[in-house]
Structure 1
Amino acid sequence: MSKTISGSRAPVRITFEIVPEGTLPPGHAVAVDEVDGLITARIGKTHITGELRTEIEELHRTVTQQERWVQTSPELDPHRLEQPAEGLGIAHVAWERVAAGVLPRGVLAAPVERDRMLVWLVHEDHASAQLCAEMSEYGRRIAGDGLWEQRWPA
Structure 2
Amino acid sequence: MSTTISGSKATPVRIAFVIVPESTLPPDAVVALDEVDGLITARIAEGHITPELRAELEELHRTVTQQQRWVQTSPELDPHRLERPAEGLGIAHVAWERVAAGVLPEGVLAAPVERDRMLVWLLHEHHASARLCAEVSEYGRRIAGDGLWEQRWPS
Instruction: Give the TM-score normalised by structure 2.
Output: 0.95
**Is 1:91 matched with 2:84?**
no
Identity of aligned residues (%): 81
Residues 13 and 38 of structure 2 are in contact (CA less than 8 Å); yes or no, is this contact kept in structure 1? yes
Deviation (angstroms), 1:126: 0.3
Aligned twin of 2:46: 45
Aligned twin of 1:126: 127
Deviation (angstroms), 1:100: 0.6
Gaps of 5+ in 1: none
Classify 1:7/1:14 alpha carbon distance in 2 versus 1 (closer, same or farther; 3 Å): farther
**Is 1:63 matched with 2:60?**
no
Residues 94 and 119 of structure 1 are in contact (CA less than 8 Å); yes or no, is this contact kept in structure 2? yes
Gaps of 5+ in 2: none
Residues 30 and 45 of structure 2 are in contact (CA less than 8 Å); yes or no, is this contact kept in structure 1? yes
Residues 14 and 40 of structure 1 are in contact (CA less than 8 Å); yes or no, is this contact kept in structure 2? yes
Residues 5 and 70 of structure 1 are in contact (CA less than 8 Å); yes or no, is this contact kept in structure 2? no
Deviation (angstroms), 1:56: 0.4
**Alignment: residue pair count:** 152
RMSD: 1.4
User: Which contiguous aligned blocks of 4+ residues in structure 1 show a shift greater than 6 angstroms?
Assistant: none
User: 1:151 is aligned with what amino acid?
Assistant: R
Residues 96 and 120 of structure 2 are in contact (CA less than 8 Å); yes or no, is this contact kept in structure 1? yes
**Is 1:103 matched with 2:110?**
no
Aligned twin of 1:30: 31
**Is 1:115 matched with 2:145?**
no
State the Cα deviation string for residues 19-59 of structure 1 (Å, max 9, x = none): 00100111211000100000000000110000000000100
Higher strand share: 2
Q: Following the alignment from structure 1 to structure 2, what is the Cα–Cα distance between the partners of residues 110 and 39?
A: 20
